[in-house]
Amino acid sequence: MVQTADHPQNSSEYLVHHTILATWLLWLVGGLYIAGPVLGCLLGLQALYFYYIGPNLPESKRLPAPHWSISAWLIAMTIMLVILIAGHLNFSLGTGATIKSAIGWAKGWLLIALFIFAGAVLPIRREIVYRAICRTGKYTILLLPLFLVAPFVGLPATLWVSPLQIIGGSGPEYFATILYTLEPGSGAPRWQFFAPWSPAAGMVGLVYLICACQEKDRRWRNWGIAAALAMILLSQSRLALVGLIMIAPIPLLFGQVTRSFLWFLILPIVLLSGWFAVDILEALNLAKSEFSGARADSTRVRETLGRIAVERWQAEAFWFGHGVVERGPHLVEYMPIGSHHSWYGLLFVKGLLGLLALATPLMITLALLLQSALTSRLGQTGLAMAMLLLMYSFGENLESLAYLYWPALLLIGMALQHRSRRQAAS
């Protein structure tokens, strides 16, 4: 049978393809928060099963051994659990709280490693991911008029909160069917699509944009790009706009890096940058001030949450953290300490060792994919996704959104494993 981009060829591709296509249906019933962890577990178990029966399979059908960088993710995220238990023991939080936190770890940090592992070893073609995202983009564009008119014709912002919330999560927003939100200060509408909040929709939009740009069929590519841009722009997320300028073009730029005309183009820009360095720095400082002032209250809350997290981490739980998330004071609108920032959150909940458990595999991944991006198109896509994770680690808690951006994790795993295959073949 001829393999085509829009037809899954095995059970792994079927699971990935149809889960992406079901995005809007899952959003409607409040099932997205459940679907991500379920898919990650199914793919992980499927990989373990094929490893178990591998000796009885023809050599061509056996799964490859994961690259050591994939193992680094699995080991680091397992260490996260050990650190979590140590933090609970240090503060005598009890068995019930430990079990609850371990479940949260499985739905977040472990999920990140599982999807990277699955992308590396399972026979999932990246074209399946690209096409499914573009098809979902078509559904997004068709639904877009409903979202745009909703705040102006009196439709409720939240249609309903799914009873699936009883399963548990960080809050009702993960299970809510929300058409739009209103900015507290201005009352202007803001859209979050199928994400729990608007900046998360911007992050997903960037993942979808990078994938859509890799789609070979122009018709589907246009659907995917249009939907991704709509998500990025209508989310009104400052971080998403930065990613649109700095992260999304990475595959294109690295794809041209071996062409001499690009270096002739860059050389005068570098020379002029040195000549006008002082003016450029002043302009960047002004842009930074305007960027922070666009939502001054949000910036203030984020900075205060980070400051509280660092101060309490240093004073109370340096190595293993506090073990659990705590609500902040009225000053930060009772938001969780360390939220909106993966590194502050890790310091507070899991201490310095928890921060290193994320930083180590992430830095390894960036270093390997930076090298791979010079010669491989998949490496360029994987690097863009890894850079996206790094950027959003300073504005979101990565573990809480893994159930949404998991296609990016699959592609990171594929890119890391592809690099090892290229090295073995050379």
Residue 259: C-alpha distances to residues 269, 293, 368 (Å): 17, 40, 22
Give the pLDDT confidence of 190-227 residue by residue, as tens digits.
999 999 999 999 999 999 999 999 999 999 999 999 99
CA neighbor of 340 nearest in space, from 104, 145, 162, 170: 170
CB neighbourhood size of 269 (10 A): 8
CA neighbor of 288 nearest in space, from 297, 299, 277: 299
Q: Strand 189-190 vs strand 181-182: parallel, antiparallel, or unpaired?
A: antiparallel
How confident is the model at residue 151, as a pLDDT?
93
Q: For the chain, what's the residue count?
A: 426
How confident is the model at residue 2, as a pLDDT?
44
Instruction: Indicate the pTM of the whole model.
Output: 0.90
How confident is the model at residue 12, as a pLDDT?
95
How confident is the model at residue 76, as a pLDDT?
97
Give the pLDDT confidence of 313-367 residue by residue, as tens digits.
888 888 998 888 888 776 666 677 777 788 998 999 999 999 999 999 999 999 9
How confident is the model at residue 1, as a pLDDT?
40
The one-digit pLDDT tens for each residue of the chain (426 residues) are 445 656 899 999 999 999 999 999 999 999 999 999 999 999 999 999 999 988 888 887 889 999 999 999 999 999 999 999 999 999 988 898 999 999 999 999 999 999 999 999 999 999 999 999 999 999 999 999 999 999 999 899 999 999 988 876 678 889 999 999 988 767 789 999 999 999 999 999 999 999 999 999 999 999 999 999 999 999 988 889 988 988 888 887 776 655 555 545 555 654 554 555 455 445 545 555 554 555 556 667 777 887 888 888 888 888 998 888 888 776 666 677 777 788 998 999 999 999 999 999 999 999 999 988 888 899 999 999 999 999 999 988 999 999 999 999 999 999 999 876 665 555
CA dihedral 43, 23, 362, 5 (to 10 degrees): 70
Domain ranges for the chain, please list them: 11-258+365-425
Cα–Cα distance measured from residue 70 to residue 361, given in angstroms and rounded to the nearest whole number: 8
